[in-house]
Amino acid sequence: MSLRIMTVYGTRPEAIKVAPIITAIEADPELESTTVVTGQHREMLDQVNTMFGIEPDHDMNIMAAGQTLNGVAAKVIAGLDEILAEEKPDVVIVQGDTTTVMGAAIATFNRQIPVVHLEAGLRSGHIDSPFPEEANRKLTSQITALHLAPTSTSKDNLTREDISENDIVITGNSVIDTLMFATRTLEVHFGDERLEALQQAKKAGSGGRILLVTAHRRENIGEGMADIGAGVAELARRYPDLTVVFPIHRNPKVRESIMPAVADLENVLLIEPLAYAEFTRALSLADIVLTDSGGVQEEAPSLGKPVLVMRENTERPEAVVAGTVKLIGTKRQRIIDEVSLLLDSEEAYKGMANAVNPYGDGKAAERTIAAIKWKFSGGEKPADFGTDVS
Ligand code: UD1
Ligand code: UDP
């Protein structure tokens, strides 16, 4: 009998990272796939499903304006409980650290179904940063049956919390599988004309330098976001040859605090969130990346882009150690100084612009399937089980 695997996800980054796993499950005759979206995100989630041709079997459609953490968690637990009762999967996969993940893990655990956690073991060591993601990851780890860690650092974090080594497999991060798939797409035509013109200018060897910016962290909303807006605006004024490409997150609180500062600047392209293929093309075109995103911290280093991370700490230390990522916090002046340094000093720029791939080799989906079969349906123990993959 085939193993019935349910994959539950709800936000853009989860969708990007589960897409290659769902594709691999669907291609395997020994496995049966059910996909469930909570709909914690809507447009940003649908964008990814559309790109990968995934039509979820269940859509809980929970997103609401001004949603609260507890509101999301309550809807995820109650809604998924009904779907679990109906579908009775053998195992449930969750990915990452969102409230969807924590809620889905609790609902699954309470139904006595094993939880498989992708991207397990990341820890910043600060319970309030990222908030609430650090707690979501720790809570999920406590009730997970199979932990799929991207790196040995994340595996070590889990064993330090007394999680048995026999329940952990290092797979690499599936974000690199998705990135490799997307960057193989030969032609990306940007829907936004100004961005398309920028791409053509870059191809022709002109067009100046590009700073790609994203921001959305909950703990940065308010003062942090206002500082980010002010810092980016000052950089745009100071460097007229610079184009700032800023696909802005759909959270209205992010928009309210950032948009006024940058809205009227000609060299700031304030645009709607880009579809994944377009975003990764924008990453390839960029000279510098300024972000507070988790996923972007993993992708940009593998494209050799210097990444300035607007946070005080990170649960992804590997690229910091490799020198391609620098933590700079969210203070306006620091943002201006750090970006200016990379724009003004070739030496500083070259010191950071190194392609490194600490997060994976593009085969995480393959390893994930092997690990699930080993743990839940008598498959062989994966050979490179406990070591880094890149
Ligand atoms: C969520 C996750 C965060 C993840 C981020 C990725 C939690 C607590 N937070 O944060 O870990 O890094 O997603 O982007 O799980 N909205 C839309 N359309 C969308 C998406 C969001 O309109 O497609 C708006 C809605 O008004 C929504 C608000 O954004 O209420 C906030 O969304 P929410 O998922 O609660 O928080 P994020 O900041 O997106
Ligand atoms: N991304 C995207 N379009 C955009 C901005 C980001 O597709 O306009 C992708 C990006 O490549 C990465 C993911 O979204 O894979 C990161 O999502 P986000 O920053 O929202 O969440 P986090 O990774 O911080 O949880």
DSSP assignment of 149-210 equals: ESSHHHHHHHHHTT--GGGEEE---HHHHHHHHHHT------SSHHHHHHHHHHHTT-S-EE
| Whether residue 218 lies in the annotated active site | yes
Residue 389 has pLDDT above 90, yes or no: no
pLDDT at 207: 81
pLDDT at 382: 80
Residue with the two structure tokens 């707690």: 135
Give the tens place of pLDDT for each residue, 202-218.
Answer: 999 888 999 999 999 99
Residue 14 has pLDDT above 70, yes or no: yes
The residue nearest atom 13 of ligand 1, judged by CA position, is 11
Q: Is the beta carbon of 11 within 6 A of some atom in ligand 1?
A: yes
Please enumerate in sequence order all residues whose Cβ is within 8 A of that of 4, keeping only pairs 6 or more positions apart, or say none. 32, 34, 87, 88, 89, 90, 91
Nearest-atom number in ligand 2 for the CA of 214 is 5
How buried is 321 (Cβ within 10 angstroms: 0-12 exposed, 13-18 middle, 19+ buried)? Answer: exposed
How buried is 55 (Cβ within 10 angstroms: 0-12 exposed, 13-18 middle, 19+ buried)? Answer: exposed
Give the tens place of pLDDT for each residue, 334-359.
Answer: 999 999 999 999 999 999 999 899 99
Name the closest ligand to CA 98.
Answer: 1
Q: Which residues line ligand 2 (CB under 6 A)?
A: 12-13, 16, 175, 214, 216, 247, 273-274, 276, 279-280, 293-296, 299
For the chain, list the domains and their CATH numbers: 3-173+360-377 (3.40.50.2000), 192-352 (3.40.50.2000)
Mean pLDDT of the 108-129 span = 98
Q: Is the beta carbon of 12 within 6 A of some atom in ligand 1?
A: yes
Residue 185 has pLDDT above 80, yes or no: no
Calculate how far, in angstroms, residue 293's C-alpha sits from the geometric centre of ligand 2: 7
Residue 385 has pLDDT above 90, yes or no: no
Given the residues 111, 218, 255, 334, select the one marked as catalytic.
218
Q: What is the 3-state secondary structure (H, E, C) of 42-77?
A: CHHHHHHHHHHCCCCCEECCCCCCCCCHHHHHHHHH
Share of the chain above pLDDT 90, in %: 93
Given the residues 12, 117, 119, 287, select the one marked as catalytic.
119
* Alpha carbon of residue 277 to chain centroid: 14
Averaged pLDDT of the chain: 96
Mean pLDDT of the 101-123 span = 98
| Whether residue 216 lies in the annotated active site | yes
Mean pLDDT of the 219-248 span = 96
Helix (H) / strand (E) containing 111: none
| Whether residue 249 lies in the annotated active site | yes
Judge contact between 96 and 149, C-beta under 8 A: no
Give the tens place of pLDDT for each residue, 166-178.
Answer: 999 999 999 999 9
Structure tokens at 149: 């860690």
Nearest-atom number in ligand 1 for the CA of 97 is 11
pLDDT at 388: 82
pLDDT at 186: 67
Give the tens place of pLDDT for each residue, 65-74.
Answer: 999 999 999 9
Give the C-alpha separation, 353 to 239, whole Å.
20
This prediction has a pTM of 0.98
pLDDT at 163: 97
How buried is 339 (Cβ within 10 angstroms: 0-12 exposed, 13-18 middle, 19+ buried)? Answer: buried
pLDDT at 383: 76
Given the residues 133, 227, 299, 388, select the one marked as catalytic.
133
Q: What is the 3-state secondary structure (H, E, C) of 228-278?
A: HHHHHHHHHHHCCCEEEEEECCCCHHHHHHHHHHHCCCCCEEEECCCCHHH
Q: Is the beta carbon of 42 within 6 A of some atom in ligand 1?
A: yes
pLDDT at 38: 98
